[in-house]
Amino acid sequence: EPEVTQTPSHQVTQMGQEVILRCVPISNHLYFYWYRQILGQKVEFLVSFYNNEISEKSEIFDDQFSVERPDGSNFTLKIRSTKLEDSAMYFCASSQAARNTDTQYFGPGTRLTVL
């Protein structure tokens, strides 16, 4: 069964450094998402992406964050200058369409630790 993959599974970085989290969505999906889960808190929406553009972003997704689909398969989340509070599990998801009823398929997540 097709699945969403994410690399790396765990990333440790120093505060102020740039990180890029990578995702390979399911191949025939058109809509892509990033969510994050700070330890002990809810899974929170960060951003949705369609047709090479951000379609929606949350308040969390400030100028330090960016997303890109650099080629036909990868979808990346970049954090320009990491802060301690960026430490979280980051989940990528994809869906075929973006109706309310469409299933989003999630990857296993990247655990980001900022020291």
Partner 1 sequence: AQSVTQLGSHVSVSEGALVLLRCNYSSSVPPYLFWYVQYPNQGLQLLLKYTSAATLVKGINGFEAEFKKSETSFHLTKPSAHMSDAAEYFCAVSDGVSGGYNKLIFGAGTRLAVHP
Binding residues for partner 1, rule: CB under 8 A, are 4, 6, 31, 33, 35, 41-45, 48, 50, 55-56, 58, 91, 93, 95, 98-109
CA-angle at 27, arms to 88 and 6, nearest 5°: 20
Say if CB 52 and CB 41 are below 8 A apart: no
CB of 101 to partner 1, least distance (A): 4
Which is closer to partner 1, CB of 15 or CB of 97? 97
The bridge status of strand 75-79 relative to strand 31-37 is unpaired
Which is closer to partner 1, CB of 72 or CB of 99? 99
Distance between CA atoms of 104 and 98, rounded to whole angstroms? 9
CB of 31 to partner 1, least distance (A): 7
Which is closer to partner 1, CB of 14 or CB of 51? 51
Say if CB 102 and CB 95 are below 8 A apart: yes
CB of 16 to partner 1, least distance (A): 29
Which is closer to partner 1, CB of 15 or CB of 38? 38
CB of 26 to partner 1, least distance (A): 12
> For every residue of 24-65, which 3-state class applies, written as one string?
ECCCCCCEEEEEEECCCCCEEEEEEEECCEEEEECCCCCCCE
